[in-house]
Chains A and B, each alone.
Chain A
């Protein structure tokens, strides 16, 4: 064994138990996949190994010796390198400068030897088949190239054991393939790789062994050759059937949300929505599937008044609300669970109670009427908050805790509570369960279905295909700012089928089984 981690336990300040008595071992010369859902504890375990987080208990044995790793510097000295999910590169510096930073070749007098840095980079690049241009600035090169720089950086520092944290999350399929080829070469040269991912096909494609984590524990390690995607996913989720929500058939009523040829520009000024026409009826859940960045976020922003439409029309409950301000749209009975709960969903320094009345602070019973509506009523707010904390099972000491101190799942419940309790006629839920633990996911799913059954029109946007498939009564696929497919029968739909549309391989399907 090259590396053994035993009994690793880690509890964060907020009380989140990220690792519970985790054991994990890696053989020299293997690619070891570490898989698990968001929040399963993979990243924490690797941060401990790389010296970024201290552990509360446990031991690490590396190359037969018990070691204490207290900083990335120490980890690097031992030959452990890490490529972070968010690259640790300096954009305005060159590739060569980034690679040698911290261990720079010098001329006399403290001068930096740029020429040698370039040479070193070139040699490393050739040796490992990771092609980069040493003199290009990081800000000028592609994401895939940046990742190669990160790997080279670790190799320059003498890394024998490389930790790659979700390396393919930001890559195109071709870049992913190239990366896999490079990783195989690294193994041939005697390196060892820990590969964090939650994409099962990658586990099968590249790894020798796989360790599965769930809720802070390791639940199994096996030879990849002896297992299947299905077996791994069962271990990851902890049950056989993946997220099928029990729900009665939908009874769609009158149309609530109607968009007609809706167009918009992105922040960068390019056309991100190219004419979206979509109707959501009362009592149905319409899901939007799509790879992120295909216009879903902008679509939601327009519906909720956070972005201007450059063309087309939005109607809610028969009213033309195109480019109305958010407050007026909300007053029509629109609930919005934003995709980023920190940026648009909550005010981190404000209390749970304050966050729960963000869109109704000026209405009875939280404020008076007439002139008195400028004065808020703390008692009414607190008792309202206590009621919701109870009903939505928000785990917090009391209603005055700042929202920013809550864990992701609990904060999401605060937002869900605020948006759901007003019984909206239209509910827009973007990534409602992102980064939320399994228990909370089920709860949120049930609440969404309950809203539907109470007659709300629900628009669901999620990057998690399983979630969209499980919840939606009807499903549309966004690709490059257009609806490229619509499915009315979601019960028999497979992920693969939807995936082809999401990735742009297929287009223009309106009904299952018949193409336009």
Chain B
């Protein structure tokens, strides 16, 4: 009996983890593109937050989650364009501009909510829209797997979750099998060498930043039209930074980043599950962030040692 409960708990946890990983994974894959092109994009958080609200506005206005998704992507692209222009054309510091965008996004979304919803804390539309969940009923017959992909209530994973998972191999292909990916990576690693063979470095960085914007737009859309069907002040709650941590932990590669995002997703899922237990809630909500800090520290130490060994070997 107890074993059954435990088994259900574990598989349900995987379902939940995949769900909460989705926005982190989208944002992190976006971060991978920027990082590979040599752009430090700390604006992931702000891009996500901004696109979550705009996406929801558009979706509710047209009563279509798909137009909402498109709206979120366009919003993220516009803000990314500002980031690209200021950092690449005007040569401002990427970290400073990224932080500015994050701060701007928090303030501006509150302002918009106040203007159009009349409430500074949340925007809770009367007729919300949601990106659909996709249950796969015939998998219910497969022990375990049914629970993982369809969840305890059989509602299924969200379409965006599947899209985020699919994005991992797609991005890998894009970065490592296409001419564009080759150039993008060369620009990131050695801009001077890339320029010397005629690759337009600034233009490539623009492309990379905009591609990142598409991913953060999808992350934002998931937050306000799937994870919940509303917008809350600062609802991203640091997911953009956790995504950034996943990028670094995943060594800037799609699959590594996916695993790191999944790790953080599990941490969040456990924290969500544990909220029903009688533990201090502050401690529980802290859990995913603590995991982030600990793994990053561990990773840095490992990386440092490896570097030392390599240098010693030379």
Interface residues of chain A, those whose CB is within 8 Å of chain B, are: 71-73, 76, 84, 87-93, 97, 101-104, 106, 109-112, 153, 157, 267-270
**B180-226 at interface with A (beta carbon < 8 Å):** 180-183, 185-186, 189-190, 192-199
User: Is B181 within 8 A of A102, CB to CB?
Assistant: no
Q: Which of B179, B193, B312 contacts A111 (CB 8 A)?
A: B179
B312 with A268: CB separation less than 8 A: yes
Contact across chains for A88 and B177 when beta carbons are under 8 A apart: no
Q: A72-B195, A109-B178 given. 4 additional CB < 8 A pairs?
A: A88-B190, A91-B190, A103-B198, A270-B312
B4 within 8 A of A: no
Query: What bracket does the count of chain B residues touching chain A fall in?
Result: 20 to 34
Cβ of B115 within 8 Å of any chain A Cβ, yes or no, is no
- Specify which of A110, A153, A157 lies most central, judged by the most chain B CB atoms within 10 Å of its CB: A110
A92's partner among B179, B189, B195, B308 (CB-CB below 8 A) is B189
Distance between Cα atoms of A102 and B198 in the complex (Å): 6
Q: Which residues of B are found within 8 Å of A104, using beta-carbon distances?
A: 179, 182
Whether A267 and B311, one on each chain, are in contact in the complex, defined by CB atoms closer than 8 angstroms, is yes
Residue in B181, B183, B186, B196 whose CB lies within 8 Å of A72: B196
Flag if A90 contacts B179 (CB, 8 Å): no
* Closest beta carbon of chain B to A168's beta carbon, Å: 21
The 3 closest A-B CB pairs, nearest first, are A102-B197, A88-B193, A73-B198
Some 22 contacts from A to B, beta carbons below 8 A apart, are A71-B198, A72-B195, A76-B198, A84-B196, A88-B192, A89-B193, A93-B189, A101-B199, A102-B197, A102-B199, A104-B179, A104-B182, A109-B178, A110-B180, A111-B177, A111-B179, A112-B179, A112-B181, A112-B182, A268-B312, A269-B311, A269-B312
**Which chain A residues lie closer than 8 Å to B283 at the CB level?**
none
Q: B3 interface residue, CB < 8 Å from A?
A: no
B314 located at the interface, meaning its Cβ lies under 8 Å from any Cβ of chain A in the complex: yes
Q: Are A268 and B189 in contact (CB under 8 A)?
A: no
Chain B interface (Cβ < 8 Å from any Cβ of A): 177-183, 185-186, 189-190, 192-199, 308, 311-312, 314
CB–CB B189/A101 < 8 A = no
B39 to chain A, nearest CB (A): 17
Chain B nearest CB from A134 CB (Å) reads: 15
User: In the assembled complex, how far is the CB of residue B202 from the closest CB belonging to chain A, in whole angstroms?
Assistant: 14
Chain B residues with CB below 8 A from A91, complex form: 189-190
Residues of A within 8 A of B185 (CB): 90, 92-93
Residues of A within 8 A of B189 (CB): 90-93
Across the two chains, which residue of chain A brings its CB closest to B176? A112
Tell me the complex Cα distance, A442–B34, Å.
51
| A269 surroundings in chain B (CB, below 8 A) | 308, 311-312
Task: Say yes or no: B186 contacts A93, CB within 8 Å.
Answer: yes
CA distance A268 to B180 in the complex (A): 36
Alpha-carbon separation in the docked complex, A109 to B178 (Å):
8
For the complex, give the distance between the alpha carbons of A110 and B173 in Å: 11
CA distance A76 to B197 in the complex (A): 9
Q: Chain A residues near B311: list those with CB within 8 A.
A: 267-269
* A104 vs B180: C-alpha distance when bound (angstroms): 10
Q: Name the residue on A nearest B196 (C-beta).
A: A88
Contact indicator A97/B182 (Cβ below 8 Å):
yes
In the complex the two chains form, what is the Cα distance from A87 to B192 in whole Å?
Answer: 10
- Report the Cα distance A71→B196, complex, angstroms: 9
- Chain B neighbourhood of A111, CB < 8 A: 177-179
Q: How far is the CB of A317 from chain B (nearest CB, A)?
A: 36
Which residue of chain A has the shortest Cβ distance to B199 in the bound complex?
A102
Complexed CA–CA distance, A359 and B197 (Å): 45
A89 touches B190 (CB 8 A): yes
Task: Verify B180–A90 contact, CB threshold 8 A.
Answer: no
Which residue of chain A has its CB nearest to the CB of B312? A269
B198 → chain A, closest Cβ, in Å? 4
Bound CA span A267–B314, Å? 10
Check A90 against B194 for contact (C-beta < 8 Å): yes
> What is the CA–CA distance of A267 and B192 in the complex, to the nearest angstrom?
27
Q: Assess the A268–B314 pair: CB atoms within 8 A.
A: yes
Minimal beta-carbon separation of A139 from chain B (angstroms): 10
**What is the CB-to-nearest-CB distance from A489 to chain B, in angstroms, rounded to a whole number?**
40
In the bound complex, CA of A73 to CA of B201 (Å): 13
> Across the interface, which residues of A come within 8 angstroms of B199, CB to CB?
101-102
What's the nearest-Cβ distance from chain A to residue B173, in Å?
9
Across-interface contacts of A97 in B (CB, < 8 A): 182
Q: For the complex formed, measure the closest distance between the CB of A44 and the CB atoms of chain B, giving whole angstroms.
A: 17
Q: What B residues does A153 contact at CB under 8 A?
A: 197
Set of chain B residues within 8 Å of A92, measured between Cβ atoms: 185, 189
Between B179, B182, B190, B312, the greatest number of chain A beta carbons within 10 A of the residue's beta carbon is seen for B179
Contact partners of A109 in chain B: CB under 8 A: 178
B193/A90 in contact, CB under 8 A? yes
- Chain A residues within an 8 Å CB radius of B195: 72
* B residues in contact with A110, CB < 8 Å: 178-180
**B177 in contact with A112 (CB, 8 Å):** yes
In the complex, what's the smallest C-beta–C-beta distance from B300 to chain A, in angstroms? 20
Whole-angstrom distance between the alpha carbons of A89 and B191 in the complex? 10
